[in-house]
Amino acid sequence: MTASVSDDPALGFATHEVMNQAGALENYNAFSNDKPLAEAIKVFGADWSADHLAHAGALVGSEKVQALARQANRHTPELRTHDRFGHRVDIVEFHPAYHELMEMIFGCGAHSFAWTNPRPGAHVARAALSYLWNQGENGICCPMGMTFASLAALRHDPTLLEEWAPLINRPAYDARAGYAKTKAGVTVGMAMTEKQGGSDLRATMTRARPESPRRGSGAPYLLTGHKWFFSVPMSDLFLTLAQTDKGLSCFLATGWLPDGSRNRLKLQRLKDKCGNKSNASSEVEFYGLHAVMLGEEGRGIRTIIEMAHLTRLDFAVGSSGLMRQALSQAIHHTSNRRAFQRSLIDLPIMRNVVADLAVESEALMWMSMRLAQALDHAETDRAEAMLSRIATPVAKYWACKRAPQFVAEALECHGGNGFIADHLMERLYREAPLNGIWEGTGNVICLDVLRAMQREPDSAGVFLGEVRKARGGDTRLDTFTDRLERRLMKVNDLEPIARRVVEMMAFALQASLLVRYSTPAVASAFCATRLDGDWGRAFGTLPHGLDTQSIVDRARIEAS
């Protein structure tokens, strides 16, 4: 009698071997193994932070962080409006994985490193921390980024800055619901957008009335109104806008009052978002919310815009980091998956795709880090301040526009595996469009670039001067820069073609940085395609003759 497979205890119920699967890319150092990033940190004067960045990079690349991110996105935040006795509590409950990730990112100082290390390169180092953590889990980067940027708004009132900055800058996270000053560390959120106006903040209808005879910055007010988006509703502090007799003004509120009770707000519901699932966004009603005015009365947008400038840079950095993770995953999969007796990456058509993605990723990283360097010098160097002002929205626009296309191509490299929720590519795919919406959609950002040139006519010259630091390094860049200059001379006629102009500005700045600081293979590939037009409509259309192998090898990250 012949035995069946099921009769053999050694085989059990197995019907096949698992073969030709790439396995997970994990337990690698996302900083130390990233050659272009390490070079940028050195070029822009932040190499003193390399050990700190390596510590963060080891966390980001760990199996543990990948598991926590998966859990935090599977077990999403839940709104609890009342306790079991019927008392109104208005809290959001998170999975323990979310809190553990928050402890890691705030423990690394990703929210405060630039403020607690007042030395050249501090903003570059902090941008690198954000770049790394956006490869780990994007949902925790929203509260981190807003907490970082809040100090720019607080500078409008030195007393409030002195009161809150030491708490905000602590490298700690405290998940408890309670008054900010009783906690080990604090997070900062924003509640700006209302139903009737997103980008048009002047349409704000929330009202503020004085709580005492005192008026102006630092004075107490009571706010009543509704906010359509309250980002991070469990934040310990948050900034919001409301109308006073003198116009739209900025306010700072605590999530809980000194007696431990919830401030006078009601969380109406949590947003069921396409992506960014681990992070809570909500709708909220203020009913006599206790807050203090921040900055000059009637100048609320002016107060908050400096915070928005920092968050816009963080979204450029964050989208670049997200794309770096997508690229790393694509290289790993195509290097360890075989077809037609070769690794996928060894097929010339696949290597073309991955090399194209690698060029895109590195160019965006250099642009983001250069603008972090400009921020480092903005207070003492007028040219760097103007470069920061005009080029930060350029970087925000282009990095956020590229992210969805980039991640979709990287996902396709995985075939069906990448489209399954067990794989982190699925999460990146849902995350990719979001940064293009936060802090100004594409049209708003492009108009802001034009506005910067109109208000500061010298800024266009400063931008072109930065690009021309690579003059003579590649004739294609020189020709492209001359074309761009002719367009920028007609700044008052550019609104209908603002997107095209901002795209050209992004290409020029990226090309200049690559020519100066990257390898000839990467710089030549960028100039041949993005500037000279020898490029198709999709990734993977690099022309013949480029050194795609060295481009891929430069971008490769290996697990330990």
Model confidence at 560, in pLDDT bands (50, 70, 90)? low
Residue 120 has pLDDT above 80, yes or no: yes
Which whole number is the average pLDDT over 167-175? 97
Residue 1 has pLDDT above 80, yes or no: no
The answer to which of 14-18, 48-52, 427-431, 441-445 has the lowest mean pLDDT is 14-18
3-state SS track over 25-72: CCCCCCCCCCHHHHHHHHHCCCHHHHHHHHHHHHHHCCHHHHHHHHHH
Whole-number average pLDDT of the chain: 94
Identity of residue 49? S
Q: What is the pTM of this model?
A: 0.95
**Degrees (nearest 5) of the Cα angle 319, 320, 321?**
90
Residue 198 has pLDDT above 80, yes or no: no
CATH 2.40.110.20, domain 183-299, yes or no? yes
Rg (CA), the chain: 25
Spell out where 207-264 has E strands: 207-210, 220-231, 237-244, 247-254
Token look-up 């990283």 returns 365
Q: How many residues does the chain have?
A: 560
Residue 87 has pLDDT above 70, yes or no: yes
Token look-up 């049209």 returns 443
Model confidence at 341, in pLDDT bands (50, 70, 90)? confident
Long-range contacts of 87-90 (CB under 8 A, 24+ apart): 88/262, 88/266, 89/177, 89/262, 90/262, 90/265, 90/266, 90/267
**Domain residue ranges of the chain, discontinuous segments joined by +:** 35-150+164-168, 183-299, 302-555
State residue 323 phi and psi, 5-degree precision. Answer: -65, -35
Q: Give me the pLDDT at residue 202, please.
A: 80
Closest alpha carbon to 66 in 93, 30, 120: 30
**Quick one: which H or E segment has residue 310?**
helix 300-336
Alpha-carbon gap, residue 431 to 135, rounded angstroms:
11
Q: What are 389-427's pLDDT values in tens digits? A: 999 999 999 999 999 999 999 999 999 888 988 889 999
Long-range contacts of 112-119 (CB under 8 A, 24+ apart): 112/147, 112/148, 112/168, 112/169, 112/170, 112/171, 113/49, 113/52, 114/148, 114/375, 115/148, 115/151, 115/165, 115/169, 116/169, 116/171, 117/49, 119/48
Which whole number is the average pLDDT over 468-492? 96
Q: Which residue has the higher pLDDT, 438 or 167?
A: 167
Which whole number is the average pLDDT over 9-37? 83
Q: Is residue 461 a contact partner of residue 474, using CB atoms and an 8 Å limit?
A: no
Closest alpha carbon to 99 in 190, 184, 180: 184
DSSP code for 556: -
Which tokens sit at 59?
């966390």
Residue 251, beta-bridge partner list: 240, 293
Residue 200 has pLDDT above 80, yes or no: no
Q: What are 425-448's pLDDT values in tens digits? A: 999 999 999 999 888 899 999 999
Residue 24 has pLDDT above 90, yes or no: no
Alpha-carbon gap, residue 554 to 36, rounded angstroms:
8
Class of domain 302-555: mainly alpha
Percent of the chain residues topping a pLDDT of 90 = 87
Q: Give me the pLDDT at residue 16, please.
A: 82
Q: Give me the pLDDT at residue 145, please.
A: 96
